A and B are shown apart, each in its own frame.
Chain A
């Protein structure tokens, strides 16, 4: 594992502190080790991209950051994931409160089978009730934030399933934004979308960056190069266990990577 740039006091963004800091993280599903020894920061109010060939554990990694991976199976975690200095795997942490702070957008758009309005209001309603007017405001600002408001403002009570794939994905972003998370995790958010919808999501990520810390998994290298400030390259070793190969500013990773595997990957020689 090699570092092309110092973590926080990197030459490009000297003042940016880390919103999350991962130290020597290993992750197993049951007894099967899938990810080993990851150390990297997620820098505040920047976009961090995680790239790598399929099966390298990048999706597992991002799911470990809001502890959503443990929904499906028994998992074992070693190492440390800190969120503003709080160890998120500490037994004292309430998992539901944690997930409200760290939002997530998934691979396939997954709106609930309810109206557009109810989708966005969902997170707020779960944690308690707001007066109608306040809720309206939350929904509107979330939809505006996700660049969807103009398209749906007249159809808020229509089913979310009637939206196009790209609109659905932006709705899911709005749904995550509505509870004002500090970090937004995105797990290949454009993999099910066409180029035009992908473009819109990328523009959206760009505009959210000034307010929000974003970590995004992508298999599309051009996308990582376009939208991210930092990039982590993940790969598998001989025993098929995922690991982080290299972390640095996006420019460094794409232009002057130290590890040959990173160079090979970004130049399209494998993966």
Chain B
């Protein structure tokens, strides 16, 4: 007793307690600012969209007229363009991305080829989308035009391919192809991580039962990785729906609605990119805001789905 009183050891108020508390509050405040941003975004876009929501209601998405002069707005061509370009992107991009994920994670190639290959594919994600659009316009469109003409000649009786492609101007189809290129690194990189995380014991067990490498991949590895790959695809879909510049430069930007994928078209992001700077009328701005709100909501849903998929995977 006498010892401690002489030494005057005080452990009740450590140095810097106020500083600590203040700093904790500060970082928490910043974190809440970040959260607030998402709600602010929703509020601002919703607020500006209200004139259009009140005027057009939900019928907005089923109407195909978009006339700035007459102030009549319908979103069908853009919704259709967004949907179709995303579907084409997934149909083309997913098999290639999974092939890349397998080649870069499995032992088909020696490690000194595999690692640079994976880095190169990731590099695609680092190219600004306007550069990809530039390339799409000058290189990809001339390359795909003959393919489109051929599709039209052979499959022209199907409404989906029922219009003659406009040479040199792109189409919904070209936009889908360019989106496939852009979502490929997202899907491939995440799928690769998922595949690498699969325990080697599972592969060994399958190989020890006499199955070949590919039998093991299809029967054991890919089914086990399926939820993670699905999450990766969902994230890719989210990117595809919101991608703007590359699409704007190769889709032709036509507000005319046709079913044909070989025709010029537009997506929600492309019409926003094209018209926002020149929009003056409140209703025109409102209609564009309404489109942005729809895109925002859709990508939000898709991304939440992706997060959920990844979460359930982590819990397993």
Which positions in A face B, CB cutoff 8 Å?
66, 68, 71-72, 96-100, 103-104, 106-108, 110, 112-114, 122-123, 125-127, 172, 175-176, 179
Contact = CB atoms under 8 A, between A and B. Distances in A.
Interface stretch (B153-161, B184-192, B205-213, B243-251): B205-213
Interface in B183-222: 199-212, 215, 219-220
Nearest to B215: A126
A176 B209 contact: yes
A103 B224 contact: no
B223 interface: yes
From B199, B211, B212, name the one whose CB has the most chain A CB atoms within 10 angstroms.
B211
B200 to A, nearest CB: 7
Contact of B209 (A71, A72, A114, A175): A175
B207 A68 contact: yes
Contacts of B219: 122, 125-126
**10 residue pairs, one from A and one from B, having the closest CB atoms:** A100-B210, A110-B201, A123-B209, A104-B208, A126-B211, A99-B210, A96-B210, A110-B205, A113-B224, A112-B220
B156 to A, nearest CB: 42
A96 B199 CA distance: 21
Given A112-B205, A114-B223, A172-B205, A123 B199 contact: no
A96 B224 contact: no
B209 to A, nearest CB: 4
B202 A96 contact: no
A112 B207 contact: no
A68 B224 CA distance: 21
Nearest to A106: B201
A259 to B, nearest CB: 32
A71 B107 CA distance: 9
Nearest to A127: B210
A100 B209 contact: yes
Contacts of A100: 209-210
Interface string B213-244: 00100011001100000000000000000000
A126 B210 contact: yes
Contact of A110 (B199, B211, B223): B199
Contacts of A104: 204-205, 208
Contacts of B203: 71
Contacts of A96: 210-212
Of B201, B202, B204, B219, chain A has the most CB atoms within 10 Å of the CB of B204
15 contacts: A71-B207, A72-B200, A96-B212, A106-B201, A110-B199, A110-B202, A110-B205, A112-B202, A112-B206, A112-B220, A113-B224, A122-B211, A126-B209, A126-B210, A172-B205
Contacts of B204: 68, 71, 104, 106, 110
A41 B42 CA distance: 74
Given A106-B201, A172-B205, A175-B205, A113 B211 contact: no
Nearest to B209: A123
A129 to B, nearest CB: 13
A112 B223 CA distance: 10
Contacts of B205: 104, 106, 110, 112, 172, 175
Given A106-B201, A110-B202, 20 more contacts: A71-B207, A96-B210, A97-B210, A98-B210, A99-B208, A99-B209, A100-B210, A104-B205, A104-B208, A108-B201, A110-B201, A112-B206, A114-B223, A122-B211, A122-B219, A126-B206, A126-B209, A126-B219, A172-B205, A176-B209
A103 to B, nearest CB: 7
B49 to A, nearest CB: 45
B210 A179 contact: yes
Nearest to B201: A110
A179 B208 CA distance: 11
Contacts of A72: 200
Contacts of A98: 210
Nearest to B211: A126
B34 to A, nearest CB: 37
B208 A68 contact: yes
Nearest to B224: A113
B261 to A, nearest CB: 38
A106 B203 CA distance: 11
Interface in B113-155: none
Contacts of B200: 71-72
A71 B212 CA distance: 11
B208 A66 contact: yes
Given A71-B203, A110-B199, A112-B220, A103 B212 contact: no
Contacts of A68: 204, 207-208
A27 to B, nearest CB: 17
Nearest to B226: A113
B199 A99 contact: no
A104 B202 CA distance: 12
A179 B207 contact: no
Contacts of B207: 68, 71, 99
Contacts of A108: 201
Nearest to A185: B208
Most buried by B among A66, A71, A114, A125: A71
A110 B220 CA distance: 11
Contacts of A123: 209-211
Contacts of A107: 201
Nearest to B205: A110
Nearest to B199: A110
